[in-house]
Amino acid sequence: MDALATTTETKNIADFCADVVLRHRENWPPSEDALAQEFVEKFLPELPSSPKRITEIADRLGIKTSLRVLPDGMHGFNCSTEEETVILLSEQEAFPGSREHTFFHELREIMEYDFRDQGWATMRGSDAEKRAEQFATWMRMTLFAKDFGHLIEQAQGVKETWKRWLAFAGVVVLFLGVGLGYALLPYFEENFPRTR
Protein backbone atom coordinates (compact mmCIF):
# COMPACT_ATOMS: atom_id res chain seq x y z
CA MET A 1 0.00 0.00 0.00
CA ASP A 2 1.24 3.49 -0.76
CA ALA A 3 2.47 5.27 2.35
CA LEU A 4 0.72 8.47 1.33
CA ALA A 5 -2.61 6.67 1.43
CA THR A 6 -2.42 6.28 5.16
CA THR A 7 -1.39 9.87 5.87
CA THR A 8 -4.06 11.73 3.87
CA GLU A 9 -6.92 12.87 6.08
CA THR A 10 -10.25 12.14 4.43
CA LYS A 11 -12.73 14.97 4.88
CA ASN A 12 -15.07 14.84 1.91
CA ILE A 13 -15.82 12.88 -1.23
CA ALA A 14 -13.01 14.54 -3.22
CA ASP A 15 -10.48 13.62 -0.50
CA PHE A 16 -11.85 10.10 -0.37
CA CYS A 17 -11.45 9.75 -4.14
CA ALA A 18 -7.88 11.05 -3.91
CA ASP A 19 -7.15 8.38 -1.28
CA VAL A 20 -8.71 5.69 -3.47
CA VAL A 21 -6.49 6.75 -6.39
CA LEU A 22 -3.41 6.52 -4.17
CA ARG A 23 -4.33 3.08 -2.92
CA HIS A 24 -5.43 1.55 -6.21
CA ARG A 25 -3.54 3.34 -8.99
CA GLU A 26 -1.37 0.27 -9.64
CA ASN A 27 -4.47 -1.74 -10.40
CA TRP A 28 -7.00 0.77 -11.72
CA PRO A 29 -10.00 0.90 -11.53
CA PRO A 30 -10.87 -0.62 -8.16
CA SER A 31 -13.79 -3.03 -7.99
CA GLU A 32 -17.10 -1.59 -6.86
CA ASP A 33 -17.26 -3.86 -3.82
CA ALA A 34 -13.82 -2.65 -2.67
CA LEU A 35 -14.93 0.93 -3.21
CA ALA A 36 -18.12 0.35 -1.20
CA GLN A 37 -16.20 -1.24 1.68
CA GLU A 38 -13.69 1.60 1.81
CA PHE A 39 -16.47 4.18 1.66
CA VAL A 40 -18.28 2.57 4.60
CA GLU A 41 -15.04 2.38 6.60
CA LYS A 42 -14.28 6.07 5.99
CA PHE A 43 -17.67 7.68 6.34
CA LEU A 44 -19.92 5.23 8.16
CA PRO A 45 -17.85 3.57 10.90
CA GLU A 46 -20.91 3.66 13.12
CA LEU A 47 -24.15 2.78 11.43
CA PRO A 48 -26.94 5.37 11.14
CA SER A 49 -30.38 3.95 11.94
CA SER A 50 -32.24 2.72 8.87
CA PRO A 51 -35.20 5.12 8.67
CA LYS A 52 -32.94 8.18 8.69
CA ARG A 53 -29.95 6.57 7.04
CA ILE A 54 -30.14 8.45 3.74
CA THR A 55 -30.49 11.92 5.24
CA GLU A 56 -27.81 11.26 7.86
CA ILE A 57 -25.29 10.06 5.28
CA ALA A 58 -26.13 12.98 3.00
CA ASP A 59 -25.70 15.44 5.88
CA ARG A 60 -22.28 13.98 6.73
CA LEU A 61 -21.19 14.44 3.11
CA GLY A 62 -22.65 17.94 2.78
CA ILE A 63 -25.14 16.82 0.13
CA LYS A 64 -28.69 18.14 0.05
CA THR A 65 -31.27 15.44 -0.50
CA SER A 66 -35.04 15.48 -0.84
CA LEU A 67 -37.99 13.56 -2.19
CA ARG A 68 -39.63 14.85 -5.37
CA VAL A 69 -42.18 13.86 -7.94
CA LEU A 70 -39.76 13.04 -10.75
CA PRO A 71 -40.56 12.46 -14.43
CA ASP A 72 -41.75 8.96 -15.33
CA GLY A 73 -38.93 6.45 -15.37
CA MET A 74 -36.59 8.58 -13.28
CA HIS A 75 -35.66 7.01 -9.94
CA GLY A 76 -33.24 9.71 -8.91
CA PHE A 77 -31.18 12.67 -10.02
CA ASN A 78 -27.98 14.30 -8.89
CA CYS A 79 -26.47 17.62 -9.84
CA SER A 80 -23.58 19.75 -8.68
CA THR A 81 -22.53 23.33 -9.11
CA GLU A 82 -19.57 25.14 -7.56
CA GLU A 83 -21.74 25.88 -4.52
CA GLU A 84 -23.76 22.78 -3.82
CA THR A 85 -24.50 19.15 -4.56
CA VAL A 86 -28.05 17.86 -4.61
CA ILE A 87 -29.57 14.39 -4.80
CA LEU A 88 -33.28 14.11 -5.54
CA LEU A 89 -35.09 10.84 -4.99
CA SER A 90 -38.40 9.82 -6.49
CA GLU A 91 -41.32 10.18 -4.13
CA GLN A 92 -43.06 7.32 -5.95
CA GLU A 93 -41.31 4.00 -5.56
CA ALA A 94 -42.89 0.56 -5.52
CA PHE A 95 -40.14 -1.38 -3.78
CA PRO A 96 -38.69 -1.02 -0.31
CA GLY A 97 -35.05 -0.06 -0.50
CA SER A 98 -35.37 1.58 -3.92
CA ARG A 99 -34.63 5.04 -2.57
CA GLU A 100 -31.56 3.88 -0.66
CA HIS A 101 -30.29 2.02 -3.73
CA THR A 102 -30.87 5.10 -5.89
CA PHE A 103 -29.17 7.34 -3.33
CA PHE A 104 -26.00 5.20 -3.46
CA HIS A 105 -26.20 5.08 -7.26
CA GLU A 106 -26.27 8.88 -7.41
CA LEU A 107 -23.49 9.06 -4.82
CA ARG A 108 -21.29 6.88 -7.03
CA GLU A 109 -21.90 9.21 -9.98
CA ILE A 110 -20.89 12.17 -7.80
CA MET A 111 -17.71 10.33 -6.84
CA GLU A 112 -16.99 9.81 -10.51
CA TYR A 113 -16.92 13.58 -11.09
CA ASP A 114 -14.05 13.74 -8.61
CA PHE A 115 -12.25 10.78 -10.14
CA ARG A 116 -12.46 12.51 -13.52
CA ASP A 117 -11.25 15.81 -12.08
CA GLN A 118 -8.21 13.98 -10.77
CA GLY A 119 -7.62 12.31 -14.15
CA TRP A 120 -8.60 8.83 -12.98
CA ALA A 121 -12.03 8.14 -14.49
CA THR A 122 -13.37 4.68 -13.73
CA MET A 123 -16.47 4.73 -15.95
CA ARG A 124 -16.85 4.94 -19.67
CA GLY A 125 -20.05 5.02 -21.79
CA SER A 126 -22.66 2.41 -20.95
CA ASP A 127 -20.33 0.95 -18.32
CA ALA A 128 -21.11 3.95 -16.11
CA GLU A 129 -24.67 2.97 -15.18
CA LYS A 130 -23.64 -0.62 -14.61
CA ARG A 131 -20.85 0.34 -12.23
CA ALA A 132 -23.07 2.78 -10.33
CA GLU A 133 -25.68 0.02 -9.94
CA GLN A 134 -23.04 -2.41 -8.69
CA PHE A 135 -21.75 0.15 -6.21
CA ALA A 136 -25.28 0.78 -4.89
CA THR A 137 -25.89 -2.93 -4.39
CA TRP A 138 -22.50 -3.41 -2.67
CA MET A 139 -23.09 -0.41 -0.40
CA ARG A 140 -26.35 -1.88 0.83
CA MET A 141 -24.79 -5.33 1.21
CA THR A 142 -21.84 -3.90 3.13
CA LEU A 143 -24.11 -1.98 5.49
CA PHE A 144 -26.28 -5.05 5.97
CA ALA A 145 -23.18 -7.17 6.65
CA LYS A 146 -22.43 -4.88 9.61
CA ASP A 147 -25.90 -5.61 10.99
CA PHE A 148 -25.28 -9.28 10.23
CA GLY A 149 -22.20 -9.23 12.47
CA HIS A 150 -24.34 -8.08 15.39
CA LEU A 151 -26.88 -10.83 14.70
CA ILE A 152 -24.11 -13.46 14.68
CA GLU A 153 -22.88 -12.15 18.04
CA GLN A 154 -26.40 -12.42 19.42
CA ALA A 155 -26.72 -15.97 18.08
CA GLN A 156 -23.40 -16.89 19.72
CA GLY A 157 -24.83 -15.73 23.02
CA VAL A 158 -27.63 -18.33 22.97
CA LYS A 159 -26.84 -20.90 25.70
CA GLU A 160 -28.60 -24.08 24.59
CA THR A 161 -26.71 -25.72 21.71
CA TRP A 162 -29.69 -26.63 19.52
CA LYS A 163 -31.21 -23.18 19.92
CA ARG A 164 -27.85 -21.60 19.08
CA TRP A 165 -27.62 -23.60 15.84
CA LEU A 166 -31.21 -22.71 15.04
CA ALA A 167 -30.36 -19.05 15.57
CA PHE A 168 -27.29 -19.38 13.30
CA ALA A 169 -29.41 -21.05 10.62
CA GLY A 170 -32.00 -18.27 10.88
CA VAL A 171 -29.34 -15.59 10.54
CA VAL A 172 -27.82 -17.32 7.50
CA VAL A 173 -31.22 -17.68 5.82
CA LEU A 174 -31.93 -14.01 6.55
CA PHE A 175 -28.54 -13.00 5.12
CA LEU A 176 -29.10 -14.97 1.92
CA GLY A 177 -32.66 -13.68 1.53
CA VAL A 178 -31.75 -10.06 2.07
CA GLY A 179 -28.65 -10.33 -0.11
CA LEU A 180 -30.69 -11.85 -2.91
CA GLY A 181 -33.31 -9.11 -2.50
CA TYR A 182 -30.66 -6.39 -2.76
CA ALA A 183 -29.08 -7.98 -5.82
CA LEU A 184 -32.43 -8.46 -7.59
CA LEU A 185 -33.91 -5.04 -6.78
CA PRO A 186 -32.85 -3.42 -10.10
CA TYR A 187 -34.40 -6.37 -11.98
CA PHE A 188 -37.72 -5.99 -10.13
CA GLU A 189 -37.74 -2.23 -10.71
CA GLU A 190 -37.07 -2.70 -14.40
CA ASN A 191 -39.69 -5.39 -14.96
CA PHE A 192 -42.59 -4.37 -12.77
CA PRO A 193 -44.59 -1.17 -13.08
CA ARG A 194 -43.99 1.62 -10.59
CA THR A 195 -46.93 2.41 -8.32
CA ARG A 196 -47.43 4.66 -5.34
Partner 1 sequence: MNTKGFGPYLRGLRRHRGLSLKQVEREAGVSNAYLSQIERDLRKPPHPDILNRLAKVYDVPSSDLLIAAGYVQNLAEKDITREKIDQAFEHVIHHPKFRHGTRLKGSALSLDAKRFIVEMYEKMRDEKLL
Q: Which residues bind partner 1 (CB under 8 A)?
A: 51-52, 54-55, 64-82, 84, 86, 88-89, 91, 102, 105-106, 109-110, 112-113, 126, 129, 132, 189-190, 194, 196
- For residues 69 and 49, is the Cβ–Cβ distance under 8 A? no
Least distance CB 65 / partner 1 (angstroms): 8
Smaller CB distance to partner 1: residue 21 or 111?
111
Nearer to partner 1, 41 or 127 (CB): 127
Distance between CA atoms of residues 67 and 165, nearest Å: 43
Nearest of 24, 19, 61, 69 to residue 43 by alpha carbon: 61
Distance CA 56, CA 106 (A): 16
For partner 1, which is the closer residue by CB, 113 or 120?
Answer: 113
Query: Among residues 102 and 142, whose Cβ is nearest to partner 1?
Result: 102
As measured in angstroms, the least distance from the Cβ of 46 to partner 1 is 17
Instruction: Say if CB 48 and CB 57 are below 8 A apart.
Output: yes
Residues in the chain, total: 196
Tell me the residue type at 169. A
Question: With left for phi above 0 and alpha for psi between -120 and 50, is residue 2 left, alpha or beta?
Answer: beta
| Shortest distance in whole angstroms from residue 143 CB to partner 1 | 17
In 118-160, where does DSSP find H-type helix?
Answer: 127-156
Quote the least distance from Cβ 176 to partner 1, whole Å.
Answer: 26
CB of 175 to partner 1, least distance (A): 26
User: In terms of CB distance, is 165 or 188 closer to partner 1?
Assistant: 188
